[in-house]
Amino acid sequence: MSSTLYYNGPILTMDADNSSPEAVLTTGERIEAVGGEAALRAQMPTGTKEHDLQGKTLIPAFIDPHGHFPDPGFIRLFRVDLAAPPRGDCVNMATALARLSAKARETPAGEWVMGVLYDNTAIAEGRMPTRAELDSVSTHHPVWVIHASGHNGSANSMALSRHGVDRRTPDPLGGRFGRDPQTGVLTGLVEGISAMGEMGDTDFLITRDRFWQGFAATRDEYLAHGVTFAQNAWTSRRMLEHFASLPADQDPGYDLMLLPIGEEEPAMTEGPVSVAWPGNPHFNLGPRKLFTDGAFQLQTALLSEPYFKPLNPDHPCGMTYANAEEHGAEVKRLHYLGYQIHCHCNGDGGAEMFIDAVEQALTETPRSDHRHTIIHGQALRDDQLERMVRLGMTVSFFPAHIHFWGDRHCDTFLGPKRAERISPAASAERLGLRYTIHNDASVTPTRPIHLAHCAVNRTTASGRTLGENQKVSALSALRAQTIDAAWQVFKEDERGSLEVGKLADLAILSRNPLKDATQLLETVVVATVRRGKTVFQHGGKATT
């Protein structure tokens, strides 16, 4: 097995003491030793490669605590990018329709045309496209445009027909079909996961061949940003079958945690009709995923008080994706079966529902270390954070929202007071609640350095600071994407810090991110090491 000695630069181990040794020695896939350079040189095998950091910073490779790998690759290869500023350049409806029309012209009649990352809050018209507008794109293709949040979309007439929806179709719990208030005619709007059905799944229209193409594209993107371990945090049966198609003895060049849809368990992975699982060591099953509410951009995240400028008078506080009784029963069932639960809760109303359910489940079935996790938790109150500490819960915050939607949180969604504490990581830290931070790709792109900047500097796209007292240190933001991210899914003994015996997953940064946090965005990943092998070098490409 080959060995490598890393030395001559800052080394941030992210261990319990945040130690910064002189050198790290790796052998094969593992970290062999950490400590003084002279001591490691004395024990390193003959033929050990020497990697002179030349002042660059060595840290554990980043971990994505919540996202939808390989959706970013699907978008790049197979879908129409309709992202508005600050992420993209689709500024108005005319641009969106023109891009969809161009895609339709090169797509055989009858096949789907799918637009993604559309943001009604950032586009000039301030709304989703209508059925009539999408019919103008094509009446020979089903046309489907999904919102950047993944929580609603708009369809043309053929897409609605393919989806089995007409004006007589009732609204499902936690969803609705847009209708003209005067005539009842469908407008094309499809809101909520229950209403979207398979059209809301990240693997919609993805064949086996397209899956592995998207996988490779996403893998190379993540490795280029120093991320070696990520999640597919809503693994449908079809998606699980795609992952399971990889033979057990093949290395896909990436390690992933898959979070099956909670409502389908245990049948999906343990029952008599479970997906055949080959046991590939690079894919493992993690927490089971549930939802309580929707998205802030659509005002479907459930709040305890009305939105600052409510758009829907019938639902001024947002909406729930499940009633409290059903949700509580689902949490109790999964908890009793021994699963860890990750639950999407954007608003404090949605979070309250999950916290209540966890408390009841623990009352009936005590578990000392469950680590049930709120995903997003963007509007969590201090009293909720305190309850979560008592219950042994944790949270993964979404501070990228501060950059991409922070101005609209302040002006429209939450208002100035509540927006100041969106993704309240500093409050969690003060109260002793361990947390992580994520990008929720493809909602926002997986960019660990930028994500750390969002948590540390809390700067919106327009340049205003949102929540001075919720800023965290650069060290906290890095730990939230390394050792704390590993801990959150029970992988702290395997990865997340530079300690003896752990996987040699490393990232080399152009500068020390702990020096002058206002300059975090100047930090560049110059190399990524996965399982002891360099898989990305700045200016080159992934070698997997």
Query: Where exactly are the structural domains of the chain?
Result: 3-55+502-537, 71-200, 287-472
Instruction: Give the integer Cα–Cα distance in Å for 289 and 475.
Output: 29
134-151, pLDDT tens digit by residue?
A: 999 999 999 999 999 999
Identify the segments of the chain with pLDDT beneath 50. Answer: 542-544
In sequence order, what are the residues at sequence separation of 6 or more whose Cβ sits closer than 8 angstroms to the Cβ of residue 229?
61, 63, 64, 255, 256, 257, 486, 491, 495, 505
Q: Which of these CATH numbers, 1.20.1280.50, 3.90.1300.10, 3.30.830.10, 3.10.310.70, describes 71-200?
A: 3.10.310.70
Note if the bond before 442 is cis, omega within 30 degrees. yes
Q: Shortest CA distance to 123 belongs to which of 148, 156, 105, 142?
A: 148
Number of other CB atoms surrounding residue 309 within 10 Å: 13
> What angle is formed at CA 306 by the lines to CA 261 and CA 327, rounded to 5 degrees?
25
Bridge partners of 63, per DSSP, are 229
Class of domain 3-55+502-537: mainly beta
Parallel, antiparallel or unpaired: strands 176-179 and 152-155: unpaired
What pLDDT was estimated at residue 544? 32
The second-level CATH assignment, the architecture, of 287-472 is: Alpha-Beta Barrel (3.20)
Structure tokens at 500: 């003896």
- Global confidence as pTM: 0.95
CB 327 within 8 A of CB 359: no
